Amino acid sequence: MSQDWQFVALFLILSPIFPAAPVILNHLLGPKKPNPIKQQTYECGIETVGSSWVQFKVQYYVYALVFVIFDVEAVFLFPIAAAYGQLTLFGVFAAALFIFLLADGLAYAWGRGALEWI
Amino acid sequence: MSFNLNEFLKSLVSLTVSDYLRQLWGDQLWVGLVLDILGVVIISTFCLLIVIFLIWLERKVIARIQQRIGPNRVGGRYGLLQTVADVIKLLIKEDITPMGADRVAYWLAPFLIVMAALIVWAIMPFAPGVIGVDLNIGVFFFLAISSVSVVSLLLAGWGSNNKYALLGAFRSVAQLVSYEVPMILALLVPILLARSMSTVSIVAAQTVPFLLVVPLAALIFFISSLAETGRTPFDLLEAESEIVAGFHVEYGGMKFGMFFLAEFVNTLFMSGFFATVFLGGYRFFGLENLVIGDGWAVGNLIGLVVFFVKMFAVYFVYIWIRGTLPRVRVDQILNYNWKFLVPVSLVLVMVTAVLDKFIPESFSAYARAGAHLTANVLIALVTIEILRAYARRQRRLTGGDSGLAVTAAEDHAHQETAVHHEPAAAH
């Protein structure tokens, strides 16, 4: 068991090397002649008006919220699916009820207009 | 145990050299570490190098779809060295950090996205016994790690100090995050049928490939994997014609190359994962267990080839779709996900769970598969019927205009002939 995670841990430790090698090589090989115009933000040749860190549509936030609810609840379905062989019929109906509640949540969000792109 | 050339060659053919070396050197900590490090390096190098081929393949196939020739100058008739030349070009570009950028976020993003793209390969079963690590929560591991790429897209968009980049990042969050829900739900179905989250067990459970057992789950997974990797028709996080290149517009040189690399590695992973979970992975009519003579397990080699053929067949479909379909609007993408894919996959999971309990244990794998297939086809038919009724109602409400891609001429003809006539485009 811990043997398994040893591989994942090693992968996690070693994996930065693979993107780092070409980026560092690029840093060494490329020319270095910075000037103010070159370092400007890219915007069709016109200077950017105002700050780039602007307010965003609240709609994105609503979708993110719906996602969080769904994702957290879906996590509970994984153990049920993996242990499906040991489940009794009652357990399966309980799981189906759980999914039904998920669907109800979706219907609620849908009915409240949270899924309309304005 | 001493070194034995014959045994070593046998382990080489059966692709289990690491097991042989473990036996040879004993079961100490350093042996495990060295072999694991070797495994990491082999998997990562494979991923990085195959991208060179993948980019060439994609350009060539798309060119053919669009009746062009594609790269044909660098490296012989088929332009095989075109990507190598591109990599060299990227390497000697100047490394620019735009003014006012959030330096930490700007530099972290390309690293994070490549790391996430590489680490998921740990659970990919290439052939029998050839896998980074057979985690008992394999599928869950993949879902957890692949979500990290959303974070890195947001870091890139936010850190670049560019409005286009920020727009791309917002879109990517809305899209990637939304499509994760049907992907999770669709993956529950094969887990449920295999009764395990380990990728090896899922492959072992596929006496009949799950594509033929639960085609609806496979379709939902495929569509959401298109969106998750940000490929056409869901590529609006980097829509070139609207927001230049989206989240990576401020990146140049190899840092840009890293985003590109991660996209291709991710797409290849998704094809491999689809092949593993729905097409039976390395299984090919029992040939993957073939043993010749006294212990020459050539079956593993056959399994490797079979896996690669399946993976590239799926990859070809990804390219094909990219060459065929146009981009869809952001509201269409989100509506399609939340109002179509998620409800359908919820119903599918529920029906599969209840149905599988009602099938008696005595049924053979084929009878079981037939029952699930029937249920899937029924769900698909009901869904199509509901969509058809919905489109009809929409048309009646808006006086013939369904809001879908019905041209004026078709619409006119439609009104003239009969109310019950269905234009093909409305489905």
Q: What integer pLDDT is reported at residue B206 of this predicted model?
A: 86
Residue B31 within any structural domain of the chain: no
At B268 the pLDDT is 93
What pLDDT, on a 0 to 100 scale, did the predictor assign at position B265?
Answer: 92
Asked, for residue B19, whether it belongs to a domain, the answer is no
Q: What is the pLDDT of residue B48?
A: 87
Give CA–CA dist B137/B198, Å, rounded.
5
| Nearest Cα residue to B299 out of B413, B130, B57, B181 | B130
Contact A82 B197 (CB under 8 A): yes
Residues B122 and B262 in one domain: yes
Residue where one domain finishes, among candidates B319, B343, B358: B358
Q: CA B202, CA B350: separation in Å to the nearest integer?
A: 20
Instruction: Tell me what pLDDT residue B1 has.
Output: 59
Say if residue B395 is exposed, middle or buried (CB neighbours under 10 Å; 0-12, 13-18, 19+). Answer: buried
- Contact A45/B at CB under 8 A: no
Q: Are residues B298 and B377 in the same domain?
A: no
A98 in contact with B at a CB cutoff of 8 Å? no
Whole-number Å distance between alpha carbons of B277 and B191: 9
Which residues in chain B are closer than 8 Å to A25, comparing Cβ atoms?
Answer: 91, 254
In this structure, chain A runs to a length of: 118
Q: Does residue A98 sit in helix, strand or coil?
A: helix
Could you tell me if B325 and B388 lie in one domain? no
Angle, to 10 degrees, between the axis of helix B17-25 and the axis of helix B29-65? 170
Tens digit of pLDDT for each residue in A4-13?
788 888 888 8
User: Is B237 among the domain residues?
Assistant: yes
Q: Are the Cβ atoms of B346 and A102 closer than 8 angstroms? A: yes
pLDDT digits 0-9 by tens, A79-110: 888 888 888 888 888 888 888 888 888 888 88
Q: Rounded to whole angstroms, how far apart are CA atoms B276 and B414?
A: 45
In the three-class reduction of DSSP (H, G, I as helix; E, B as strand; rest coil), residue A30 is classed as coil
Residues from chain B contacting residue A77 (CB–CB below 8 Å): 184-185, 188, 349
The answer to whether B299 and B288 have CB atoms below 8 angstroms apart is yes
B291 in the same domain as B164: yes
Structure tokens of B350?
A: 């529920």
- Number of domains observed in the structure of chain B: 2
Place of tokens 């899922």: B202
Chain A, 68-97: which have a CB under 8 Å from a chain B CB? 70-71, 74, 77-78, 81-85, 87, 89, 92-93, 95-96
Both B168 and B206 in one domain: the answer is: yes
Looking from the CA of B194 toward its CB, the CA atoms found within 13 Å total: 30
Residue B52 falls inside a structural domain:
no
Nearest-by-Cβ selection for B188 from A36, A81, A103: A81
Residue B262 and residue B387 in one domain: no
The nearest CA of chain B is from the CA of A103 a distance in Å of 7
Query: Does B379 lie in the same domain as B338?
Result: no
- The pTM (predicted TM-score) of the whole model is 0.86
**Domain assignment present for B13:** no
Q: Are the beta carbons of B254 and B90 closer than 8 angstroms?
A: yes
| Structure tokens that stand for B74 in this block | 């660098």
Contact B304, B46 (CB under 8 A): no
| Helices and strands (H, E) in chain B, number of each type | 18, 0
A8:B44 CB<8 A: no
Q: Profile chain B (427 residues) by mean pLDDT over runs of 10 residues.
A: 72 74 76 82 88 90 88 82 87 82 85 90 86 85 88 85 80 84 90 88 87 90 89 74 72 85 91 91 76 74 88 92 85 85 89 83 81 88 90 81 47 44 42
CA distances from B403 to B391, B395, B398 (A): 9, 8, 8
Residue B30 maps to a domain:
no
Contact between B185 and B214 (Cβ < 8 Å): no
Buried b (16+ CB within 10 A) or exposed e, B336-346: bbbebbbbbbb
B307 within 8 A of B300, measured Cβ to Cβ:
no
Q: Which token pair is B185? A: 């739900």
Which tokens go with B233? 């028709």
Q: How far is CA B387 from CA B332, B381, B399, B411, in A?
A: 15, 10, 18, 19
Domain assignment present for residue B23? The answer is: no
Same domain, B124 and B167: yes
Look at A84 and B356 and tell me if their CB atoms are within 8 Å. Answer: yes
For the CA atoms of B294, B299, B305, B307, the dihedral, rounded to the nearest 10 degrees, stands at: -150
Name the residue among A38, A52, A96 with its Cβ closest to that of B350. A96
Q: Can you point out the beta strands (E) in chain A?
A: none
Quote the pLDDT of residue B426: 41
What are B215-244's pLDDT values in tens digits? 999 999 999 998 888 787 887 766 666 666
Which residue range is the domain that position B416 belongs to? 361-427
**C-alpha B402: how far from chain center:** 33
Co-location of B136 and B172 in the same domain: yes
Matching residue, tokens 């894919």:
B341
| Contact criterion met (CB below 8 Å) for B127 and B135 | no
| Structure tokens, B198 | 């380990």
Q: What is the pLDDT of residue A2?
A: 66
Same domain, B145 and B276: yes
* Residue B403 and residue B284 share a domain: no
Nearest to A60 among B132, B174, B244 (CB): B174
- In order of A76, B140, B144, B189, B407, the CA distances from A80 in angstroms are 7, 13, 18, 11, 48
Q: Rounded CA gap, B320 and B297, in Å?
A: 36
Taking the alpha carbons at both ends of chain B, their separation in whole angstroms is 67
Sign for the pseudo-dihedral over CA of A70, A79, B183, B167: positive
User: Do residue B177 and residue B111 come from a single domain?
Assistant: yes
For residue B227, being part of any structural domain is answered with: yes
Q: Which residue of B has its CA nearest to A71?
A: B181
DSSP secondary structure string, B107-125?
HHHHHHHHHHHHHGGGG--
Amino acid type, B162: N
Q: Tell me the per-residue pLDDT of B27-47, one tens digit each, with 9 for 90 and over.
A: 777 777 888 888 888 888 888
Q: Residue B403 is which amino acid?
A: G
Boundary of a domain, candidates B358, B385, B408: B358
Residue B30 backbone dihedrals phi, psi, to 5 degrees: -65, -35
Last residue of a domain, one of B306, B330, B358: B358
